[in-house]
Amino acid sequence: MVTGVIQTNTMALLLGRFTSAATSFVIAILAARSLGEEFGTFAAIVAAGFIANTVITFGTDTLIVRATSRDPNGTGSDLAAPILALQLAASVVVSVAAGTAWFANVASVALAIQALVLLPQAVTAVSSAILRGRQQMTKLTISSAIGGIVGVVVTAVLFDGRSEVWVPVVGLGAGHVVTALLTAVQARVRFRLPASIHEIRSLATVTWAFAVMVGATTVSSQISLVVLGGFGAAGAAGFAIAMRFVEAARLLPASAYGAAFPAMADRLHLRASYLAWSKRLIYYGAVATVILIALARPLSDAVFGPIDYGPESLRILALSIVPIILRMRRSFELIADGYETRVAIASVATATFITLGALLTLSATSAADGVGEGGTAVTVIAWLHVVAIMLNVAILEGVTRRSLSSPSEIVLPADRSR
């Protein structure tokens, strides 16, 4: 069996992510029922913020987790201090640009607020990585839960008498601020400006593969929401709702692999117990797929209300759950073995495929019947998502087979730091 520590951390991380996801889900429900078709615009703004946050964090959370797991009281915190400074500086630049665009009536107030939220998100990213590396998942869970509850309360209060896109953005932002404060205190995170340009270059050299990998993965999962919601395509709100259900379904495997990742440095993923444990996660994904397909309409209507193309999109996107779990597994395993560059290449290929596919699909359907009128664009893009993830898995499986056939090429994280 997987070790008791891994099981405990998995449950703690799962509880934290479940609480965070549940509160975000509640905010999404409030937004969908209050905004109607404008929920697609809200989803696009949040997705754009998620992509921006991923770019700003530059893939460094995985690096901090790995460094902290080796030296809980030293290396991880020392590495995190200048990284936090760089991320906050980048967040300020984006926030100022978005604020300027709002004053010039180029961007909405909701987008400007979302840009400001990048500041607490940067603090949370660094602090959470330190806590995960120290395997202090309970502290992370409590902080995330409190922040999530605050977000729900603020959103519910603001929606009383209002029905505007900026309301749920503010609610989510309030939750992020509280979570950032709590995790920063728990992690004892420090702030230090990089000592020199050489240190910045060194960080970029070490983290570029992680940055490309995480950034491309985020783009592949969020870009369709940005494109559909940004262009006001018919069915954008339904697509966003379907994505919420898929994100909820991937919560368990994401928490499990996230908790197990620090132990993969000790070759956990080569043990028979780990392989059996991973198979059970695949079975879970298959069951979740069947349930979502069978109950797509009653689930969608009961939770979010009767929004067009929600059930139709969910039936298609549910087919991506098992491939998503397989992608998580192979990605974490290859990163632990030092193959993050190859994972990054696979992620870029997937992101390019879905981005070009979404843009071409929207262009073609717009020329034919307006901006996605009839939901054609949503249906095609949903299928593109499923195909893209399957292609990503196929690439990662090929990389895994090559790495196993050439064991001398495997470089353990500990060796890479020498």
Residue 310 lies in a domain: yes
The reply to whether 416 falls in a domain is no
Instruction: Report the range of poorest mean pLDDT among 47-51, 171-175, 368-372.
Output: 368-372
pLDDT of residue 356: 92
Average pLDDT, the chain: 81
The pLDDT score that the predictor gives to residue 294 is 95
- In a domain, residue 415? The reply is no
Of residues 256 and 88, more confidently modeled:
88
Say if 27 falls within a structural domain. yes
Q: Does residue 85 lie in a domain region?
A: yes
Task: Quickly state the pLDDT bin for 414 (edges 50, 70, 90).
Answer: very low
Smallest CA-to-CA distance from 393 within 339, 335, 330, 332 is with 330
Cβ atoms of residues 127 and 189 within 8 Å: yes
Dist. CA 312–CA 351, nearest whole Å = 23
Helices (H), ranges, 58-136: 60-70, 75-103, 109-116, 118-133
DSSP track, 164-210: -THHHHHHHHHHHHHHHHHHHHHHT------SSHHHHHHHHHHHHHH
pLDDT at 197: 72
> What is the C-alpha to C-alpha distance for residues 308 and 36, in angstroms, rounded to an integer?
10
pLDDT tens string 28-58 = 889 888 888 888 888 889 988 888 888 888 7
Q: What pLDDT score does 331 carry? A: 85
Model-level pTM? Answer: 0.75
328 or 17, which is more confident? 328
Question: Regarding predicted confidence, which is higher, 279 or 68?
Answer: 279
* Residue 57 contacts residue 87 (beta carbons within 8 Å): yes
User: Does any domain span residue 103?
Assistant: yes
pLDDT value, residue 76: 55
Q: Which range, of 86-100, 126-140, 341-355, averages the lowest pLDDT?
A: 126-140
Cα 232 to chain centroid distance, Å, stands at: 23
Kindly report the length of the chain: 418
Q: Would you say residue 412 lies in a domain?
A: no
User: Residue 304: is its pLDDT beyond 60?
Assistant: yes
Average of per-residue pLDDT across 199-227:
78
Per-residue pLDDT tens digits for 374-409 = 578 888 999 999 999 999 899 888 877 776 555 434
Tell me the residue range of the domain where 175 lies. Answer: 4-404
Q: What's the number of domains the chain is made of?
A: 1
- Whether 89 is in a domain gets the answer yes
Percent of the chain residues past pLDDT 90, beyond the cut: 27
pLDDT in the model for residue 270: 66
